[in-house]
Homo-oligomer: A and B are copies of this chain.
């Protein structure tokens, strides 16, 4: 097994860091790795914002649901979808036309996929250097105020944080859904109940056996509990619309 596959298969999220900041060289290498990501039609629809301002860091720690992790980490990146940059060279007429195109969900979807690809390049580059990392989806909890902090123009949307640092924990690896539940050939197999039950049992044992944060929970129960609530999500589609994307 080569080092790339080893790094990928060895992944576990790290949420506790030693008080050691990343070096300029480490930050630079991670950004270069993200930059080299393949993107559809060479759109390169992403911007990365590094957080060094202590007030901004505190604000994000409070609003993201990951307070200790963000306060402790050696560096924090924010990965944004960016379809603003491609507009700067357009004529007024072209801009009007592009706004109509970008109004469709299609290019938003393509851009988000590209951000994920670039984010994982950064993540693996960091892990390969011995750094611990965790992706912070919770930065959504800092919207829309985060836009003012970062001075984001229209068509630029923060999607996830990447907190990094020298690991101060070595957690067990969380089991994943069995391969036969996520990979098929030629046709989707809807007969998933037994496979999910098998995984539920496995992850229940994992939660009970692990050294920290033990709990009595399985996958289905946790996710269904999370999604079958009245979530105040209207703010998000409202936010997306205010950024210029109209889902028509």
Q: Which residues of A contact B (CB under 8 A)?
A: 2-5, 7-9, 11, 13, 28-29, 31-33, 35-38, 40-44, 46-53, 56, 82, 85-86, 88-90, 93-94, 97-98, 100-102, 104-110, 112-117, 119-121, 123-125, 127-129, 134-135, 137, 140, 150-153, 156, 159-160, 174, 176-177, 179, 181-188, 190, 192-193, 196-197, 200, 219-220, 222-224, 226-231, 233-234, 236-237, 240, 247-248
Contacts and interface: CB of A to CB of B under 8 A. Distances in A.
Given A42-B219, A125-B5, A36 B184 contact: no
Contact of A223 (B86, B109, B247): B86
B150 A187 contact: yes
Nearest to A174: B42
A247 to B, nearest CB: 4
Given A50-B186, A187-B150, A120 B116 contact: yes
Which 3 A/B pairs are nearest by Cβ-Cβ distance? Answer: A116-B116, A4-B128, A247-B247
A229 B184 contact: no
